Copies of this chain bind each other. A is one copy, B any other.
Amino acid sequence: MSFDPDTLVYNEQGLIPVIAQDAGDHAVLMMAWMNAEAVRKTLETGRVTYWSRSRQAFWVKGESSGHVQELLELRVDCDSDCLLVLVRQTGPACHTNRRSCFYTAVRDGEPVEIMAPDE
């Protein structure tokens, strides 16, 4: 392919932030990181694959939980230093079993939980 993941701008750890958005209702599900090889794997396999900073290993989203992210489209921002992946999400995206990781809103200065975990 002529899109070359090596042309993206990575941080000192060789990582680029990735926003995952549900392609259906456009909810922002999570933010995680990829290195160039993870970008390549994601495009080649169609399964969103991050780089786990805590485990220092590839993280094929949903590989253990079953909560996979099927890649529908990958987008690059104007500075080539952030990615947006439009996905079909199976099950909750968050490890807390909530649909999205962004389940805490700040309302009137107070943190409020706006999303319950799936049953």
Contacts and interface: CB of A to CB of B under 8 A. Distances in A.
A101 interface: yes
A12 to B, nearest CB: 9
Q: How large is the interface on A (under 10, 10 to 19, 20 to 34, 35 or more residues)?
A: 35 or more
9 contacts: A2-B110, A2-B111, A30-B77, A73-B106, A75-B103, A75-B106, A78-B94, A78-B98, A78-B103
A60 interface: no
A77 B94 CA distance: 9
Nearest to A39: B106
Given A31-B77, A73-B106, 18 more contacts: A3-B106, A3-B109, A3-B110, A3-B111, A19-B28, A26-B26, A26-B27, A28-B28, A43-B109, A74-B105, A75-B102, A75-B106, A76-B104, A76-B106, A76-B111, A78-B94, A78-B104, A82-B101
Interface string A61-79: 0000000000001111111
